[in-house]
Amino acid sequence: MTDPRGDLAYALSYNSRIVGTPESIADQLEAWQDAGVDGINMICQYFPGSYRDFIEHVIPVLQKRGLAQREYAPGTLREKMFPGSGGRLNDRHPASRYRGAFKGGGEKSAGSTGVKWQTERA
């Protein structure tokens, strides 16, 4: 087991932890943004409901302040990063050969895993 005292992620997660009311958390996040921080990673260390609490209580405060989006453009991240891709990997991408791998027909076994790979390209 890793010694948490020597783990950088562990140290940073406790060093930059924010706890408080939705307004005080939003205040701290706003201060971080003013200092140049352009995003956060939320780590739920103790209570799985913390994500829901953040979404239901903190996000509305951030939205009222104009610090969190209310609406997002339609489409997947891939569609936004690669317009015209139709949300699919291009044919040159190594993973494109597995397109449709779990559809059945033209299958070959992947060893003893029980997974069947389709050999035909879609």
pLDDT digits (tens, 9 = 90+) for 98-114: 888 887 655 455 555 55
* Same domain, residue pair 95 and 57: no
* Same domain, residue pair 54 and 98: no
Q: How many structural domains is the chain composed of?
A: 2
Position 69 in a domain: no
Domain residues for the domain of 91 are: 77-118
- Predicted pLDDT at 60: 97
Query: Which position has the higher pLDDT, 17 or 106?
Result: 17
Q: Look up the pTM and report it.
A: 0.58
* Same domain, residue pair 42 and 8: yes
Residues 6+ apart with CB under 8 A from 65: 26, 30
* Same domain, residue pair 82 and 60: no
pLDDT digits (tens, 9 = 90+) for 51-102: 888 999 999 999 999 999 999 888 888 888 888 888 888 888 898 888 888 8
What band does 121 get if pLDDT is binned at 50, 70 and 90? low
- Predicted pLDDT at 85: 83
**Amino acid type, 107:** E
DSSP secondary structure of the chain: ---GGG-HHHHHHHHT---S-HHHHHHHHHHHHHTT--------SS-TTHHHHIIIIIHHHHHHTT-S-S---SS-HHHHHSTTSTTS--TTSGGGGGTTTTS-SSEEE-GGG--EEE-S--
